[in-house]
Structure 1
């Protein structure tokens, strides 16, 4: 009996300690950044219930910033950890710069696992007399509701004294609202209004924005969580994530343009982006809904196209895939014509095709149905960017006739079409003859406007002979040997429709010049862009009318 009792006692102790160990391990993992190593969490923004379904923009962080900082400390070299900590502090301070809040003092003690910010409306009061007044909502999850309420009381009292304002307390649908009113005008609230609802602390730039958020919670059909387009987009994104962004594209474009109404209100296009951690950087999964006539399309490739081997490794922008005409049509149909990106693409094409008198979409893209690779390559000799296009010859297209048409168009523009040899290959160049005088002597110079050649089963076209030479030179280092692109290919899905690769480190100044909105984004996330080396985008086809893509951000913290 004694041995039996002893055995039972030991068994109970063993089970007890096992349960304690399991419970403790679960608690440690839940509090530790290590549970994010798989890419993030599997939850979606709970605060979406506060956001109206017609909201232009919603962005959510789905992990406590302290966990993300701790994880970054584990992944960066020891010598860089102090700098990394400082960058995190700067990011927190920059995000709260205009709120009067101090992250460590005011938010950190009660901050939970989600921070969501949304543009809830383009003009919250629809009053033309006071101009366009967007509605902004900030929803912060709390791990200690009472501590959050205490913070609100202390913070508002301090601000009321410092700013010489009155505090207003109002009940709306059973929720206590607090906001500031200027003494000079009791009807005009100042900046922040707030409320505590469930496990969230809500902030808004006007009380009416908070009231709309409360209405969205209480009337299920009004909030984003129950929007059909939003639900359909989320179904296609199942990877763990640390963040999510949702954009109503016409509304987002109107917000960027400071307009009270979308230019194309009849168009319903939604973009959802989730952000996941990766050992080499960050991966974003996107879902685009609302492309007219979109059909289900499975990815066409299982490995990079061979055409990439002709692109030099110093290309700052590269696009590669199959059927360039189809790819171009997707861009045309998928982008708002008034969006900054669409304008940048169109302006770039105009600057490239105008000197040649060629319409790229009609005269070149339309006949490229096989593999293609398109790049922008620095030309140090001419101190400019050159374009380079590789196109596979296919049985269904008479490529020789297409090239002959280009030669004819160049000739019609007054250019000379001539042949010469480069690297044992026959090259055709389009040149413009110029005369120059020096020491009373006149010389004749040929300015190359474009060139093309054949190489194996491919046609190669370029802005200059120098770039053609780079592409066909034996044993040249191709972009496929570029470490940044190799990392991207290893981190992206194997089945895809090709790649769009951008060397941010080398081309940063050029991209900023061509697309000014990039500078605005950089200012908001300086610490991120200071570590960004490159980004790569790949399309994953379409399913149930939803176009999907993946973006890989290659970050360097060394």
Structure 2
């Protein structure tokens, strides 16, 4: 079906989300298409991973990630002040082709697998383009080149707070060599269809570049409100003609991202083997995460593919790195670090040994108070943490500057938490005193051969829960025990020379009895011993002993309240994003964070 034959349907109301301060979280009618475009751009990077491991082992596919361009050429149309941009540096068709190759290939792949892959791809295309009247296979694929850039160019185009945020979105698509006539035909078909529907566009020229666009009254009702054809090289698409005017201007005045010295220097420090590049202005952190840093800082992100999954190497600018109070980093200050070799860095933090294999979210490193501070900086509420970690954190946990590991498990009906931290006798006593000051009793509890301390207090049951019981029964059952947490001391036998330099005595905290029992039994089935964790850590560059490992469903649930756009992206790209299983991350000494996205094979 071509653009001239399909009438755009009404948008799905289920995609409506409460807007937040970031335009990336804006899911209005216009915003849905562009958020969806971002989703599919990210999905294109992920969907080929299933076949990538086989190609890595069986053929010279490194050319897919080799790129003679030090920067995405299409970012010449992206203002240097843009909040966000994402560039694909290889043909989408090459990434799509990877999806058709199974990770464990057989002479005859199952028809069910191929059919499922095809259905997922088609559904993603339909979800994205349903409201545009465009057919990807007939109208776009024939002329599509090897590079495309999606950008959020402005948080608010008119900078008028009284009418809400009107974000500016831009898509720059490279035209394949010799396919300029097909690209021109695509634009003609699109605007002819809109004219038939009664939406006659206006036209203008900027520096010799023809632009077609809706006026602002009609633009709010359409996703693609302005287009431009730049020679035989690029097509520009936007949600407002003001976006294209700005894009053409910054290209001519060298105030674009491609010619930004700081960005180019930062990208030069990232891995050269990549299939994508991204830019993120960290002002979004300051806006959404309530920081007060006045410096202009950003992160450059290199996206690549490995046999284990999609990788992202994130490099913040020097100004971002220098702000230890506000940087969102799971690390301790350089002055706290002990210099170790790369082989030692690859050894997971000892405290991870207390997290059972069924841990859904695990974070490990040094300096627990600093980690909690990063959550505050990131706008993630402390209510996501176990209650025992919310005991006047700044004062009560200031001693916990050694190794730690915190994990969320699914041992009980709800989510339980385990925290293992290098022990300080004085620090533990201080926590007990804080718990007592809040009305909790210190109750000794035997758990196997170990002795734990439970922070408990009595709480009155609600009248509804008592029902029609007798007076004696009511008195006996009018109280229930509330457990804030439990803790006990554990000794760890050092397995490496490096571990002997750190504390081998740990205090284990847990939110429930089952969680504590799981921590004590973890030595038989620990998270670091699982195949998924081992593969993820080995696939990442050596870090400075700071780790994140999480199942995607659990992490998504934790982040959704802060990032509403996750729901919109998932709704559009659900068939493909459903393959994501886990995420893992490490941080290197230079501040670069490496992220791995693992998908079902």
TM-score band, normalised by the shorter chain? 0.7 to 0.9
122-131 vs 168-177, which moves further: 122-131
- Tell whether 2:52 aligns with 1:52: no
Asked whether the equivalents of residues 352 and 528 of structure 2 are also in contact (C-alpha less than 8 Å), the reply is yes
Asked whether the equivalents of residues 310 and 472 of structure 1 are also in contact (C-alpha less than 8 Å), the reply is yes
- Tell whether 2:407 aligns with 1:375: yes
Q: For residue 230 of structure 1, what is the aligned residue in structure 2? A: 263
Q: For residue 483 of structure 2, what is the aligned residue in structure 1? A: 448
Residue 458 of structure 1: how far off its partner (Å):
1.2
Asked whether the equivalents of residues 62 and 113 of structure 1 are also in contact (C-alpha less than 8 Å), the reply is yes
Q: For residue 287 of structure 1, what is the aligned residue in structure 2? A: 315
CA offsets 1:80-123 (integer angstroms, 9 cap, x no match): 12211221222233333333321111111100011211111123
Q: For residue 538 of structure 2, what is the aligned residue in structure 1? A: 490
Q: 1:489 to 1:265 in 2, by over 3 A?
A: closer
- Tell whether 2:424 aligns with 1:388: no
Q: 1:132 to 1:265 in 2, by over 3 A?
A: farther
Asked whether the equivalents of residues 41 and 62 of structure 1 are also in contact (C-alpha less than 8 Å), the reply is no
Residue 189 of structure 1: how far off its partner (Å):
9.8
> Which structure 2 residue ranges, 5 or more long, are not aligned?
1-54, 325-332, 492-504
What SS does structure 2 have at the residue aligned with 1:481?
Answer: coil
Q: For residue 343 of structure 1, what is the aligned residue in structure 2? A: 379
Q: Which has the larger radius of gyration?
A: 1
RCO higher in structure (CA 8 A, sep ≥6): 2
Asked whether the equivalents of residues 396 and 431 of structure 2 are also in contact (C-alpha less than 8 Å), the reply is yes
- Tell whether 2:487 aligns with 1:460: no
Asked whether the equivalents of residues 280 and 554 of structure 1 are also in contact (C-alpha less than 8 Å), the reply is yes
Asked whether the equivalents of residues 382 and 390 of structure 2 are also in contact (C-alpha less than 8 Å), the reply is no
Residue 281 of structure 1: how far off its partner (Å):
1.8
Residue 463 of structure 1: how far off its partner (Å):
1.4
- Measured in 1, the distance between the counterparts of 2:539 and 2:194 equals 48
CA offsets 1:326-373 (integer angstroms, 9 cap, x no match): 4445x26xx8x4xxxx23243424x625xx871234312x21222211
Q: For residue 213 of structure 2, what is the aligned residue in structure 1? A: 179
- Measured in 2, the distance between the counterparts of 1:328 and 1:213 equals 40
Q: For residue 135 of structure 1, what is the aligned residue in structure 2? A: 168
Asked whether the equivalents of residues 319 and 374 of structure 1 are also in contact (C-alpha less than 8 Å), the reply is yes
Residue 400 of structure 1: how far off its partner (Å):
0.8
What SS does structure 1 have at the residue aligned with 2:101?
Answer: helix
- Measured in 2, the distance between the counterparts of 1:116 and 1:435 equals 59
Q: For residue 16 of structure 1, what is the aligned residue in structure 2? A: none
Asked whether the equivalents of residues 122 and 251 of structure 1 are also in contact (C-alpha less than 8 Å), the reply is no
Asked whether the equivalents of residues 179 and 190 of structure 1 are also in contact (C-alpha less than 8 Å), the reply is no
Number of aligned positions between the proteins: 495
- Measured in 2, the distance between the counterparts of 1:520 and 1:188 equals 19
- Measured in 1, the distance between the counterparts of 2:563 and 2:245 equals 37
Match of 1:425 among 450, 454, 471: 450
- Tell whether 2:191 aligns with 1:160: no
Asked whether the equivalents of residues 55 and 251 of structure 1 are also in contact (C-alpha less than 8 Å), the reply is no
- Tell whether 2:306 aligns with 1:278: yes
Match of 2:283 among 220, 241, 250: 250
Match of 2:363 among 303, 314, 319: 319
Q: For residue 93 of structure 2, what is the aligned residue in structure 1? A: 66
Residue 517 of structure 1: how far off its partner (Å):
4.2
Q: For residue 17 of structure 2, what is the aligned residue in structure 1? A: none
- Tell whether 2:260 aligns with 1:212: no
Q: For residue 410 of structure 1, what is the aligned residue in structure 2? A: 435
- Measured in 2, the distance between the counterparts of 1:252 and 1:472 equals 38
- Tell whether 2:574 aligns with 1:526: yes
Alignment of 1:14-25 (within 5 A): none
Match of 1:302 among 341, 346, 349: 346
- Tell whether 2:141 aligns with 1:108: yes
Residue 472 of structure 1: how far off its partner (Å):
1.4
Residue 129 of structure 1: how far off its partner (Å):
7.0
Asked whether the equivalents of residues 57 and 252 of structure 1 are also in contact (C-alpha less than 8 Å), the reply is no
- Measured in 2, the distance between the counterparts of 1:515 and 1:424 equals 44
Alignment of 1:77-156 (within 5 A): 78-79=109-110, 80-126=113-159, 131-143=164-176, 144-156=179-191
CA offsets 1:410-462 (integer angstroms, 9 cap, x no match): 11111110223222112111111357776523156543221111111211111
What SS does structure 1 have at the residue aligned with 2:79?
Answer: coil
Q: For residue 551 of structure 1, what is the aligned residue in structure 2? A: 595
Q: 1:307 to 1:188 in 2, by over 3 A?
A: closer
Asked whether the equivalents of residues 40 and 241 of structure 1 are also in contact (C-alpha less than 8 Å), the reply is yes
Q: 1:206 to 1:550 in 2, by over 3 A?
A: same
CA offsets 1:40-91 (integer angstroms, 9 cap, x no match): 2334321111011111111112221111111121235623122112212222
Q: 1:391 to 1:126 in 2, by over 3 A?
A: closer
- Measured in 1, the distance between the counterparts of 2:480 and 2:510 equals 20
CA offsets 1:186-221 (integer angstroms, 9 cap, x no match): 99999422112241111122222211111111111x
503-512 vs 455-464, which moves further: 503-512
Asked whether the equivalents of residues 181 and 190 of structure 1 are also in contact (C-alpha less than 8 Å), the reply is no
Asked whether the equivalents of residues 165 and 181 of structure 1 are also in contact (C-alpha less than 8 Å), the reply is no
Asked whether the equivalents of residues 304 and 310 of structure 2 are also in contact (C-alpha less than 8 Å), the reply is yes
Asked whether the equivalents of residues 357 and 522 of structure 2 are also in contact (C-alpha less than 8 Å), the reply is no
**What is the TM-score with the length of structure 2 in the denominator?**
0.75
514-523 vs 168-177, which moves further: 514-523
Asked whether the equivalents of residues 406 and 418 of structure 2 are also in contact (C-alpha less than 8 Å), the reply is yes
CA RMSD of superposed structures (Å): 3.3
> Which structure 1 residue ranges, 5 or more long, are not aligned?
1-31, 394-398
